[in-house]
Structure 1
């Protein structure tokens, strides 16, 4: 990696950021293309977010990713956000455009790219069951609805959160049939029988946890399963899906693809996606 007075600095802000795989992934892409960029982590506590963004602006930082807990709270400190970020209510990538800091959300694009590459799934016209109603679910819903999904069931522990998402998105995507569900097995079973794709947008699956209420046997044999969790590489949900012979994938592809989209926004270059994904795998195997 070449560092000079012309090197453009990009990075990631969050709290914590020490665990982030983005520096390794992005710097591998930078090295592959031989461009004068460097990607560094910036730990930023919530109380200092506004000051940190202003500091990044004044230092001439070329762009940065945004991770937990700042994806929504960073918005007031930016000059403009993209339509996708506005719909999601969250920003994960910021670009310097002239004197402005502009926020984007590449999570949805990364999710769709991974669905297509890892599962061969095209959302247009399909019926989907989403587990969870948090930020990852919002990004997935926006991406799936924009891609032409016919039916999206939002299953969450508290129905109120699911209802809030339906209220947020139904008028924006009137062609999509939105349905609210609890996480009760009987109700989930009915939705699984109609689903082409099951998506877990929650943290369930980390540390070996599982959805004990999920009757996966009700999912048709052509159904597919996507788990946004990527550590461990095979969650209990994915293990069960594969044991039933279902097509299944974890969230590593989404992580790589959203990073590739951010890379292209900053550099104007096509990201070396295969290199980025390979670097992520290497880091996770350490």
Structure 2
């Protein structure tokens, strides 16, 4: 099947909640580009056949979300070094007739930190000189973020998770720089922590809040939460109340979308205040 314009997608199960069509639709309209971006609900059992049919269906690539990221990793013919380290793929595209995969969550998170805190945040928070970056959780998002922090050169990362086994699994990425601690040991880490990152669902609408007293954190520390519904989680509210820099979860979603759009539609878009405002309005309208 051939089309007169590039066709891309986001695939997941379920997928109705995805804001990716709004993001990519905004950029297509902003730049007057021909193209389409569709959300597709594909059951895990049907996902391998779906991936094999992409070229025949006329797709130039797309985004992959839960629960298909690990399957996409296994099905892609070519992988970026980052995707290989993370073990999951959220962006697919064709190159020389072969399907390639990347994980843009890592650079998306780092780009949002740079935009929110300034490019000098490793020095400003002290994590460039030995204060820890404390990652809460050890799931797929945590793994991507840890890889991104390693790529940025942070010397000391601590992973806290309720399942010690999963946390230990992340230390294998770089045993010299990553330490795993039990969930209950988090408070003891805070005096020497420059960046706290919540990658769990705690604080999300309908979930329990993340109960963590931020008082021991240094005054220069920053707190980030990848949850974006609500945009202001209890953790971020507590950080702001203490006068700490707080980074919400929406920017990661916006910035991770940039590399895929560039590959499919041939233009590198910008994450602008207008785009953010559009997604915030949608979140407030639908929850």
TM-score in terms of structure 1 length: 0.92
**1:129 corresponds to:** 134
Pair 272,27 (structure 1): closer, same or farther in 2 beyond 3 Å = same
- Judge conservation of contact 1:27–1:38 (CA < 8 Å) in 2: yes
Cα drift, residue 56 of structure 1: 1.5
2:56 partner SS: helix
Over the residues paired in the alignment, what is the CA RMSD in angstroms? 1.6
For this pair of structures, how many residues does the alignment match?
Answer: 275
Corresponding residue to 1:200 among 198, 202, 221: 198
2:287 corresponds to 1:282? no
Alpha-carbon separation, structure 2, partners of 1:14 and 1:8: 20
Cα offset, 1:285, TM superposition: 2.4
How far is 1:264 from its partner?
1.6
What pairs up with 1:133-152 in 2 under 5 angstroms?
133-152=138-157
* Runs of 5+ consecutive residues of structure 2 not aligned to the other structure: none
Q: The residue matched to 1:7 in structure 2 has which SS?
A: coil
2:73 is matched with which residue: 72, 75, 83? Answer: 75
Deviation at 1:124, TM superposition (A): 4.2
Mapped contact 2:3–2:58 kept (Cα < 8 A):
no
User: Does 2:147 match 1:158?
Assistant: no
| Corresponding residue number in structure 2 for 1:249 | 247
Cα offset, 1:210, TM superposition: 1.5
Give the alignment partner of residue 174 of structure 2, picking from 155, 165, 170. Answer: 170
CA distance in 2 between partners of 1:106 and 1:276 (Å): 19
Rounded Cα–Cα distance in structure 2 between residues aligned with 1:160 and 1:261: 33
Query: What is the alpha-carbon distance in structure 1 between the residues aligned to residue 6 and residue 276 of structure 2?
Result: 23
Q: C-alpha distance in 1, partners of 2:96/2:60?
A: 10
CA offset digits 1:94-116 (Å, max 9, x no partner): 01113111001100000000111
Preserved CA contact (<8 Å) 1:188 1:215: no
Aligned pair partner of 1:91 in 86, 89, 92: 89
Q: Residue 164 of structure 1: CA displacement?
A: 1.2
User: For 1:5 and 1:143, how far apart are their aligned partners in 2?
Assistant: 36
The answer to whether the 8 A contact 1:14-1:43 is kept is yes
Structure 1 residue ranges (4+ consecutive) displaced by more than 3 angstroms after TM superposition: 122-126
- CA 1:91–1:124: 2 relative to 1, 3 Å: farther
